[in-house]
Structure 1
Amino acid sequence: MILPLSIFAVIISCSYGQNTSTSTIYNSTAWGDAFKGEIKIPISQQTSNGWRIRLLFYSPIPRIECWSGIVEEAEIGETTSEFTIINKPYNKVLQVGAILLVNFNANFPTGVYSLISPPVVIRFQGKIIFRSSGASPTPRSPETISTTDLLSLLNSLEAEFNSNSTNNTTNGNTTNTGNTENNGNVQNTDNIQPSATTTESQNNSATTNISTATTTTRPTIITQRPRNPVPIPAVTKYNYTEILHKSLLFYEAQRSGRLPPGNRIPWRGNSAMNDRGNNGEDLTGGYYDAGDHVKFGFPMAFSITLLAWGVVEYWDVYRTTGELDNAIDALKWGTDYLLKAHVSPNVLYGQVGDGVADHRYWGRPEEMPSGNRPAFKVDRRNPGTDLAAETAAAMAATSLAIRRKANGSETPYVRNLLTHAKQLFNFATTYRKLYHVSIPGAKKFYKSTSFKDELIWAALWIYRATGEDKYIRDAEGKYMNWGFFQLPHKLRFSWDDKKAGVQMLMVQVSRNLGYGAKRTVKNYCSAVRSRNSNYTEGGLLYLHEWSPLRYAANTAFICQMASQAGIDSEVNAAWARRQIHYMLGDSGRSYVVGFGTRSPQRPHHRASSCPPRPQQCNWSTKESLRPNHFVLNGALVGGPDYNDNFQDRRNNFKQSEVALDYNAGFQGAVAALQYQAVFPNLEILRNHEPWFLPGSTVRTTTTIRPRGSATAVSPQILMLILSVFASLFFTYSLG
């Protein structure tokens, strides 16, 4: 029997009360891929200095959560897992006669099935108070109890369990494709994987096939997630590594200011070296927005945030493709500029260059008309809540990537980013106004509809980067008060509407609202999959006639992360893959410059359209039908019309324009496809991040499990739901 599984989640709920029992009681029940248990610990001596529980499971359990305790320590080995839970301030002291009650639900690792719970040793205040039959008080080494030994026992149990069942078997040997769209025997030819029987040298984890009475191939078993996992060989329909490489080259082609010695775009040079603020502040650097030369701070910051999200989530992809340094450089090039633009706690420059004047010029950025370009700012008198909050989010998200690159160290640069992020968040929260009201020139190009999403978005990112509780409390409060559990307007996730991103980020980091946000994200991805009227005949999600590929790519990125979180994993992964593959060539052409078949030759982009110097570049260059003189590698163009038609012409800017935000979500979605191809069944861990590390209040999150699996709901939430229904019932009865 093959069932959809995730790498395992454990939720422990702790409470205490009175009981006359004098000995510890442990009850457990298993039902195949999961088990539950209950521990009752009588208190025989007052816990004046707090209490500590140590759980040793003889199974590779990834992590646990405890609502009424703090998970202080976790040691996860190949065959055992140990967790230490300590008290919280409010339940530090337990009186003699009280009882500490611990209830938990747990899953076995992916691919492991059992009708018996794993042995456990329980210590309370340093003393062993319970030991399962066959359990040792000290951890056993892998040589004593190996994964193979454990599986041999489970094989016999499962063979007996399935001896009379033939409905869910496969015909012959099944190939583990990594991404499977159906629960039957249909292989997905987009990603052809090796057999599930892989060696330890391929993925740094013990793997095996479990033979049953019906000869079924099991998914790869991940018994321990290595710090730096090794990718397995994979044959994919498109070369995702090449796309990541070229997408990062696109960002380098958009650079403004003095280029570094290692500049990889030979037809680009130093530009806009006179960019200054109103008081002479240095505003050189950053990125040009699109095919023009304006530096719009709002979409630039969003692009950096989204780009950083993909790097942080799919770190192992960037590491193993050799693009990690380039990705970090891309993020840092953006935040270096944003740090310059934030000249004081309540002053932030949000735009350099006048959009209307800039669009009257077609030429190289290196040859823009001399003189200082106008710079526009927000401050206390003319605030920009959305701009300041998005800039804070970009700094916080980037700090996570740079911190991890430094092996978890809080470098001076990371501290600087977080200092500015907190100042900007305080500025955004204190002085509220839409930024385009204070910078009117931005309204024509990037008008913002609300700042509420940016305030929650920024708070979540700062919390994730610092672990400071006040930010998650702020985000959760606003999330509920402002109704962010509803679907986004017109289902778009973009520089203007971050609601879908807020919901996905809430799933990843919120202890209190993560479960409800999971349901919202599930509904969101279900909605975009089912709205047939919003699809082209070729299968592209079509949410806007202007640059539809950016919306489809951003949505694919969200639903890829949902898939990784166990939210309709197979269907979301398959849907997102189809959207990205449409852009890479399944539509009959590639929409990525320099990649694939029939890729765009004439993107609406000034710098790449210009011939080599000293030849002239002007409006006649734009109107020419010749391909751009230089290939703008990696740039995702706007995309086709509703009938899948695309005109590859520079003056067709609605379809051929390129922009920073087009590539940000697209690159994240491509990284997700690569992750699923070369790291199948390997969960994404965030236990290296500040909000997860020792010293922060919340160190773990619930892993969202696939459809059909049991998920625990905290008693507090359950009581809240029951009280609401009771109130409605009595109100109706009395009425």
Structure 2
Amino acid sequence: MSFLKTLVVLLVGVRIMVNVVEVASIDYGDALSKSILFFEGQRSGKLPSSQRMTWRKDSALQDGFDIGVDLVGGYYDAGDNVKFNFPMAFSTTMLAWSVIEFGKSMGADLPHALDAIRWGTDYLLKATSVPGFVFVQVGDPYGDHMCWERPEDMDTPRTPFAVSKQFPGSEVSAEIAAALAASSMAFRSSDRGYAARLLNRARTVFDFADKNRGSYNDTLGHWVCPFYCDFSGYQDELVWGAAWLFKATKEPYYWNYVTTSIHTLNSIVEHRDIDGVIYTDGYSFAEFGWDTKTAGINVLMSKFLVSNASASSTPFITDADNFICSVLPESPTKSVSYSPGGLLFKRGGSNLQHATALSFLLVAYSRYLNQAKRVVHCGNNIVASPSRLIQVARSQVDYILGNNPTKMSYMVGYGAKFPQRIHHRGSSLPSIDNWKAHIDCHGGTTYFLSNSPNPNVLVGAIVGGPDFSDSYSDSRSDFVHSEPTTYINAPFVGVLAYFKSHPSN
């Protein structure tokens, strides 16, 4: 059955344009299951017998062995075969936050979500196992990006890159600390021993990041830039890591660290977005993703303050409210754009990373506001209730899952129409089950150039998404729009879990 739903209200001066499209039935539970399954397709290392995405096989089984360190495991971040620990750690943090916040709504998918977290944290424990060093990347990105080959066939250099006391990388180290601390909470009820191990390592890695301050941009230079440059500075990751350690421990030290450091984020002269472009507003409260954590910090910390009337003027509550006003379509201070079909857009590639991450914050903050019986005031007499935040988040979820002008789901394997030619090496090349011979660096070029659909369905993968006119070319070469990433999917897991248990809110 279908019904009419307003997806977005765009304010253009005093004119209001309302786009109304027909909304088909959405199966949030099915989308949740598939969004978690996607992570099995991104696994690196020795695959377990429980592996459900069976066209993937073992890969990169010697990572780190050339320097005497076991770095096997973890995730490939996107459609390539490099392990970038900065976005990997953020994805793990968001998977853990999804379980902490919405795990009770996941049902039979909860064990799979925990498996997805553990695959990340087992590797991050290895990456932080050598005192005085944090490994932040495995693989030569230039060599890898010159080739189109299956991860199972990789013959490009698997160079490990690390930061240290002399050559710091506070942003990656602090993000790993956040991932370990958040994950410790996710495992607390099911595996207390593992949870304690994660939390202990989180403390150690955070201390390393804080005492040896500096950016891995400077330490590793072109090996990490332009791939995952830290454009926003490492201060936000330090506060983010401390915030998660406070949430996991309730220790005053971490509370004091966050409350005394949060002001530095708004005092930085130049704020930059995910592409390095300077913000026009001079503030970072509206930014959240693998690079900038400020909006996430404010929402996370607001949970401890939102019910306290005397705390309403704290920077966390004030800036969490400001973040909401930066997203709502009807807000006079919004800093995002909406496509004609209603999709949220921000600067930077792989746009659906913004739609999923910001939707997660909308849903989480709506819950905190609801518990405190609060609303958000955005000026011009615009008042946003918790239900309004949910409505905006749902519009993004429904758009991604097929209620859009193209009637295409941007989650692979979900719905009747979805991307067929995604920018993903393993998906686009024949599985070893069907082609056992080695495919070398350039041996996959014909598959890359082919117009045929990918032979392996990377179920659950969310691609970068359509352009601002709601068009999608479904082209492997158009990687900005056709490449999936772990950090697009990770926040969507929590959002889908919420809507699975609240299908008609």
Is the pair's TM-score, using the shorter chain for normalization, greater than 0.5? yes
1:306 and 2:94 correspond: yes
1:469 equivalent in structure 2: 252
Instruction: Give how far 1:528 is off.
Output: 1.3
* Secondary structure in structure 2 of the residue aligned to 1:525: helix
Q: CA RMSD in A?
A: 2.6
2:110 equivalent in structure 1: 324
1:574 and 2:362 correspond: no
**Change over 3 Å in CA distance of 1:481–1:654 after alignment to 2:** closer
1:625-680 CA-to-partner distances (Å, cap 9, x unmatched) read: 000001110000001111111110111111001111111122222222223338x7
1:357 and 2:143 correspond: yes
**C-alpha contact (below 8 Å) 1:487/1:500 kept by paired residues:** no
1:656 equivalent in structure 2: 482
Counterpart of 1:631 (choices 433, 446, 457) is: 457
* Secondary structure in structure 1 of the residue aligned to 2:162: strand
**C-alpha contact (below 8 Å) 1:385/1:429 kept by paired residues:** yes
1:547-597 CA-to-partner distances (Å, cap 9, x unmatched) read: 111101111110111111124201111011001111111112111100013
Instruction: Give how far 1:526 is off.
Output: 1.8
Instruction: Give how far 1:439 is off.
Output: 2.0
1:227 equivalent in structure 2: none
Q: What residue identity is the alignment partner of 1:645?
A: S
**C-alpha contact (below 8 Å) 1:295/1:351 kept by paired residues:** yes
2:213 equivalent in structure 1: 432
Counterpart of 1:478 (choices 241, 261, 277) is: 261
**C-alpha contact (below 8 Å) 1:386/1:455 kept by paired residues:** yes
Instruction: Give how far 1:466 is off.
Output: 1.5
Counterpart of 1:603 (choices 422, 440, 445) is: 422
Counterpart of 2:287 (choices 492, 500, 511) is: 492
1:596-619 CA-to-partner distances (Å, cap 9, x unmatched) read: 132111110000111232365611
**Change over 3 Å in CA distance of 1:283–1:467 after alignment to 2:** same
1:442 equivalent in structure 2: 224
1:555 equivalent in structure 2: 358
Counterpart of 1:403 (choices 184, 188, 194) is: 188
Inter-partner Cα distance in structure 2 for 1:488 and 1:261: 48
**C-alpha contact (below 8 Å) 1:504/1:521 kept by paired residues:** yes
**Change over 3 Å in CA distance of 1:533–1:554 after alignment to 2:** closer
Which protein is bigger by CA-based radius of gyration?
Answer: 1
Instruction: Give how far 1:459 is off.
Output: 0.5
Q: What residue identity is the alignment partner of 2:294?
A: K
Q: What residue identity is the alignment partner of 1:508?
A: K
Instruction: Give how far 1:280 is off.
Output: 0.9
- Taking the TM superposition and a 5 Å limit, the aligned residue runs for 1:110-189 are none
Inter-partner Cα distance in structure 2 for 1:457 and 1:358: 31
1:382-418 CA-to-partner distances (Å, cap 9, x unmatched) read: 0101111000000000010100234xxxx22122111
Q: What residue identity is the alignment partner of 2:303?
A: Q
**Change over 3 Å in CA distance of 1:532–1:294 after alignment to 2:** closer
Q: What residue identity is the alignment partner of 1:285?
A: G
Counterpart of 1:347 (choices 133, 146, 149) is: 133
Inter-partner Cα distance in structure 2 for 1:287 and 1:533: 30
1:335 equivalent in structure 2: 121
Inter-partner Cα distance in structure 2 for 1:364 and 1:402: 33
**C-alpha contact (below 8 Å) 1:476/1:513 kept by paired residues:** no
Inter-partner Cα distance in structure 2 for 1:464 and 1:641: 38
1:108-132 CA-to-partner distances (Å, cap 9, x unmatched) read: xxxxxxxxxxxxxxxxxxxxxxxxx
- Taking the TM superposition and a 5 Å limit, the aligned residue runs for 1:269-308 are 269-276=57-64, 279-308=67-96
**Change over 3 Å in CA distance of 1:362–1:445 after alignment to 2:** same
**C-alpha contact (below 8 Å) 2:236/2:265 kept by paired residues:** no
Question: Which residues of structure 1 form unaligned runs of 5+?
Answer: 1-180, 182-187, 192-235, 681-735
2:436 equivalent in structure 1: 614
Aligned pairs, number: 445
1:249 equivalent in structure 2: 37
1:506 and 2:294 correspond: no
1:261-294 CA-to-partner distances (Å, cap 9, x unmatched) read: 1111111111001101663100000001110000
Tell which deviates more after alignment, 630-639 or 606-615.
606-615
2:162 equivalent in structure 1: 377
Inter-partner Cα distance in structure 2 for 1:490 and 1:470: 24
Q: What residue identity is the alignment partner of 1:579?
A: Q
Inter-partner Cα distance in structure 1 for 2:304 and 2:148: 45
* Secondary structure in structure 2 of the residue aligned to 1:509: coil
* Secondary structure in structure 1 of the residue aligned to 2:225: helix
Identity %: 38
Instruction: Give how far 1:483 is off.
Output: 3.2
Q: What residue identity is the alignment partner of 1:504?
A: V
**C-alpha contact (below 8 Å) 2:285/2:295 kept by paired residues:** no
Inter-partner Cα distance in structure 1 for 2:282 and 2:25: 33
**Change over 3 Å in CA distance of 1:533–1:429 after alignment to 2:** closer
Inter-partner Cα distance in structure 2 for 1:435 and 1:537: 39
* Secondary structure in structure 2 of the residue aligned to 1:377: strand
**Change over 3 Å in CA distance of 1:551–1:643 after alignment to 2:** same
2:193 equivalent in structure 1: 412
* Secondary structure in structure 2 of the residue aligned to 1:559: helix
- Taking the TM superposition and a 5 Å limit, the aligned residue runs for 1:207-218 are none
Q: What residue identity is the alignment partner of 1:658?
A: P
1:392 equivalent in structure 2: 177
1:179-211 CA-to-partner distances (Å, cap 9, x unmatched) read: xx9xxxxxx9999xxxxxxxxxxxxxxxxxxxx
Inter-partner Cα distance in structure 2 for 1:646 and 1:585: 12
Q: What residue identity is the alignment partner of 1:491?
A: A
Q: What residue identity is the alignment partner of 2:209?
A: A
Higher relative contact order (CA 8 A, sep 6+): 2
Inter-partner Cα distance in structure 1 for 2:93 and 2:43: 17
**C-alpha contact (below 8 Å) 1:306/1:664 kept by paired residues:** yes
Q: What residue identity is the alignment partner of 1:312?
A: I
Inter-partner Cα distance in structure 2 for 1:310 and 1:674: 13
Inter-partner Cα distance in structure 1 for 2:320 and 2:45: 40
Inter-partner Cα distance in structure 2 for 1:504 and 1:675: 22
Inter-partner Cα distance in structure 2 for 1:265 and 1:339: 25
Q: What residue identity is the alignment partner of 1:443?
A: C
**C-alpha contact (below 8 Å) 2:428/2:454 kept by paired residues:** yes
Q: What residue identity is the alignment partner of 1:453?
A: D
1:669 equivalent in structure 2: 495
* Secondary structure in structure 1 of the residue aligned to 2:303: helix
**Change over 3 Å in CA distance of 1:643–1:453 after alignment to 2:** same
Instruction: Give how far 1:515 is off.
Output: 5.8
TM normalised by structure 1 equals 0.58
Instruction: Give how far 1:520 is off.
Output: 2.1
Instruction: Give how far 1:523 is off.
Output: 2.1
**C-alpha contact (below 8 Å) 1:190/1:237 kept by paired residues:** no
**Change over 3 Å in CA distance of 1:618–1:669 after alignment to 2:** same
1:591 equivalent in structure 2: 410
**C-alpha contact (below 8 Å) 2:286/2:322 kept by paired residues:** no
1:438-494 CA-to-partner distances (Å, cap 9, x unmatched) read: 122011100002111111110010111112111111111101344389985493311
* Secondary structure in structure 2 of the residue aligned to 1:316: helix
TM normalised by structure 2 equals 0.83
Inter-partner Cα distance in structure 2 for 1:340 and 1:533: 39
Q: What residue identity is the alignment partner of 1:256?
A: S
